[in-house]
């Protein structure tokens, strides 16, 4: 297997097709910052948009000119998915990640404009620094937005970089939630995706979201047939009917009543417009499992797809993350 097909420490660029555009996303896997690596969830998100862009809410005619902000953009894959559908995107991250993000945005935007005759369908994408909870950064991007998106933002909450220990950084939950609310209006659609690396952290985050938002899970049948995985989930959310402000979010998160409120909420999350066919597919697929279901045995001459190679790497990383070197 070619070394550059895995997300290894030597992989400096990932080539990925986004809605017919062959794009190159530069990364730095050796960096200690989580944002300088292309995460699989961003690919799943972009391919979900691609599959559902022919009709409905994600078709270019409905998205053209919509304002989108991406939180924790990292290398910028998810933001390009929205920009390729005609949205005007602001991709944001911490200052340490901004140079790499800007490099990807500038080079891929230029590539799209030069190489594609249908570049008129491309919206726009620019880069801005945004630390969660920073009021000046939030004001600078001029909210509210039509869409707030983020993939694997929970990776900043669930710090896998703190090996051999796993740390749930609760102090990051409040600024993230406040930022999402501050960037939104009652009409804003919030789209988040993440890979479940800890079921307890996943449940805690999900219960917190459900206090403030109506949460719908995207069924696997609506995702790209290849770019999906049982441990990767996409959510589409909107503010609940009652008025929610960033100021109200702070005391609610800090209150001891938060845990009780979360426990009282119905744990089942609605799916996004599932048809009977989709439900049957979901039932047969058994997608509720959180374990990696890639086959562990293959014929010697069988070649892995790019996506399978990445998932094998992810599975190996998960298995090794608890191993202590003595």
Q: Is residue 292 part of a domain?
A: yes
- Give the number of domains in the chain: 1
pLDDT of the residue at 297: 40
Confidence of residue 311 (pLDDT cuts 50, 70, 90): low
pTM over 0.85: no
DSSP designation for 291: S
Q: Would you say residue 115 has pLDDT above 90?
A: no
Query: Per-residue pLDDT tens for 179-227?
Result: 999 999 999 999 999 888 778 778 888 888 999 999 999 999 999 999 9
Confidence of residue 281 (pLDDT cuts 50, 70, 90): very low
By mean pLDDT, which of 72-76, 133-137, 274-278 is the weakest?
A: 274-278
Mean residue pLDDT of the chain comes to 78
Task: Give strand pairing partners of 18.
Answer: 21
CATH number of the domain at 255, please: 3.40.50.150
Compute the average pLDDT of residues 88-93: 98
Q: Is residue 248 part of a domain?
A: yes
Q: Would you say residue 284 has pLDDT above 80?
A: no
Query: In this predicted model, which residue has the larger pLDDT, 74 or 2?
Result: 74
Query: Per-residue pLDDT tens for 222-262?
Result: 999 999 999 999 999 999 865 555 556 666 655 544 554 44
pLDDT of the residue at 156: 58
Phi-psi category of residue 76: left, alpha or beta, with phi > 0 → left and psi -120 to 50 → alpha: left
By mean pLDDT, which of 5-14, 45-54, 64-73, 101-110 is the weakest?
A: 5-14
CA distance 208 to 203: 9
Q: Is residue 326 part of a domain?
A: no
Answer for the pair 313, 6: CB distance below 8 angstroms, yes or no.
Answer: yes
Q: Would you say residue 313 has pLDDT above 70?
A: no
Query: In this predicted model, which residue has the larger pLDDT, 60 or 275?
Result: 60
Compute the average pLDDT of residues 34-59: 92
Q: Is residue 325 part of a domain?
A: no
CA distance 90 to 127: 6
Domain that holds residue 296: 3-320
User: Across the beta sheet with 189-195, what order do the strands follow?
Assistant: 124-129, 88-93, 67-71, 147-151, 189-195, 232-239, 213-217, 270-271
Compute the average pLDDT of residues 87-101: 96
pLDDT of the residue at 203: 84
Spell out a b/e string for 283-313, using b for 16 or more CB atoms within 10 Å of the CB, else e.
eeeebeebebeeeeeeeeeeeeeebbbbbbb
The gap between the terminal CA atoms of the chain, to the nearest Å, is 30
Tell me the pairing of strands 167-168 and 158-159.
antiparallel
Q: Would you say residue 319 has pLDDT above 70?
A: no
Q: Is residue 62 part of a domain?
A: yes
What single string gives the DSSP state of each residue in 223-288?
A: S-SSS--TTEEEEEEEE-SS---HHHHHHHHHSTHHHHHHHHS-SPPEESS--HHHHHHHHHHTTT
Query: In this predicted model, which residue has the larger pLDDT, 66 or 315?
Result: 66
pLDDT of the residue at 174: 84
Q: Is residue 97 part of a domain?
A: yes
pLDDT of the residue at 300: 47
Q: Is residue 285 part of a domain?
A: yes
pLDDT of the residue at 246: 56
Spell out a b/e string for 184-201, using b for 16 or more CB atoms within 10 Å of the CB, else e.
beeebbbbbbbbbbbeeb
CA distance 37 to 97: 10
Q: Is residue 252 part of a domain?
A: yes
């Amino acid at each position: 297997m070619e070394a550059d097909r895995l997300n290894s420490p030597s992989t400096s660029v990932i080539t990925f097709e986004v809605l017919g555009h062959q794009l190159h996303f530069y990364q730095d896997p050796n960096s200690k910052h989580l944002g300088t690596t292309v995460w699989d969830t961003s690919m799943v998100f972009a391919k979900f948009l691609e599959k559902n862009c022919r009709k409905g809410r994600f078709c270019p005619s409905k998205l053209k000119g919509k304002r989108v902000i991406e939180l924790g953009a990292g290398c910028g894959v998810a933001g390009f998915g929205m920009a390729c559908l005609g949205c005007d995107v602001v991709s944001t991250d911490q200052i340490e990640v901004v140079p790499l993000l800007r490099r990807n945005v500038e080079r891929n935007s230029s590539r799209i404009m030069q190489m594609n005759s249908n570049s008129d369908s491309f919206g726009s994408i620019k880069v801005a620094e945004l630390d969660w909870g920073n009021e000046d950064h939030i004001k600078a991007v001029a909210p509210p937005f039509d869409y707030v998106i983020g993939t694997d933002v929970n990776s900043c909450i669930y710090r896998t970089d703190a090996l051999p220990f796993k740390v749930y950084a609760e102090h990051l939950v409040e600024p993230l939630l406040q930022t999402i609310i501050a960037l939104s209006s009652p009409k804003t659609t919030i789209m988040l995706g993440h890979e479940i690396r800890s079921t307890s952290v996943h449940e805690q985050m999900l219960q917190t979201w459900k206090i403030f938002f109506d949460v719908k899970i995207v069924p696997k049948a609506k995702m790209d047939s290849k770019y999906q995985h049982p441990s990767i989930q996409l959510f589409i959310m909107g503010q609940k009917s009652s008025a929610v402000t960033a100021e109200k979010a702070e005391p609610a998160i800090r209150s001891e009543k938060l845990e009780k409120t979360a426990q009282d909420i119905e744990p089942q999350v609605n799916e996004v417009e599932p048809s009977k066919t989709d439900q049957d597919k979901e039932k047969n697929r058994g997608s509720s499992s959180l374990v990696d279901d890639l086959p562990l045995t293959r014929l010697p001459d069988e070649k892995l797809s790019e996506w399978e190679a990445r998932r094998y790497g992810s599975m190996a990383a998960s298995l090794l993350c608890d191993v202590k070197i003595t």
